[in-house]
Amino acid sequence: MAVNFTISKRGKGLSSQASHYHLKPIYDSTVTMDELAVRISKACSLTPADVVACLSALNSEVRYQLQNGQKVELGWLGSFKIATETKAHANPEQCSKKDIRRVKVNYQPTKEFKRYLSNTTDFKIDPKAKSKYAELEG
């Protein structure tokens, strides 16, 4: 299997005069938790229901730990931590929790995990990707 890419045109930003083109992954489908549970159960002694229960418990525990200010490390998979988008102020006295505009969760894979994906994944550009822009420019 390969990860297929298309080409995405990004508009003229404030600092640049020309559009830019970037590779963008194409996701053909989504793997559900139930599908993962069946695959995982075939690799171990747990039933699919047991795997779903474990994944559900993991989800609850990760949420709990993040809500309590903890960074969660999942071994070779990587870590999760809370991040926020906040309003900036000229001096520290003006800062308050009302400045939090949005809460996010950052996922940081381990170097080994990223290296593994980089070295073992076949990346391909969809043949139609370049042709859709050739028609517009031609």
What digits encode the pLDDT tens for the residues 14-28?
A: 666 677 888 999 998
Least confident of 1-15, 17-31, 37-51, 103-117: 1-15
Among 82, 86, 79, CA closest to 100: 86
| Number of CB atoms found within 10 A of residue 51's CB | 21
Structure-block tokens of residue 96: 């308050």
Q: Is the confidence at residue 131, as pLDDT, over 90?
A: no
Q: What is the mean pLDDT of the chain?
A: 90
Domain borders along the chain are: 2-10+30-132
pLDDT digits (tens, 9 = 90+) for 71-121: 999 999 999 999 999 999 999 999 999 999 999 999 999 999 999 999 999
Question: What fold characterizes domain 2-10+30-132?
Answer: HU Protein; Chain A (4.10.520)
**pLDDT at 17 (0 to 100):** 67
Say what the pTM is.
0.76
Sign of CA dihedral 31, 127, 16, 137: negative
Among 31, 54, 58, 59, CA closest to 41: 54
SS3 readout for the chain: CEEEEEEEEECCCCCCCCCEEEEEECCCCCCCHHHHHHHHHHCCCCCHHHHHHHHHHHHHHHHHHHHCCCCEECHHHCEEEEEEEECCCCCHHHCCHHHEEEEEEEEECCHHHHHHHHHHCEEEECHHHHHHHHHHHC
* Contact yes or no for 48/66 (Cβ under 8 A): no
Q: Is the confidence at residue 54, as pLDDT, over 90?
A: yes
**pLDDT at 15 (0 to 100):** 63
pLDDT digits (tens, 9 = 90+) for 60-80: 999 999 999 999 999 999 999
**pLDDT at 19 (0 to 100):** 76
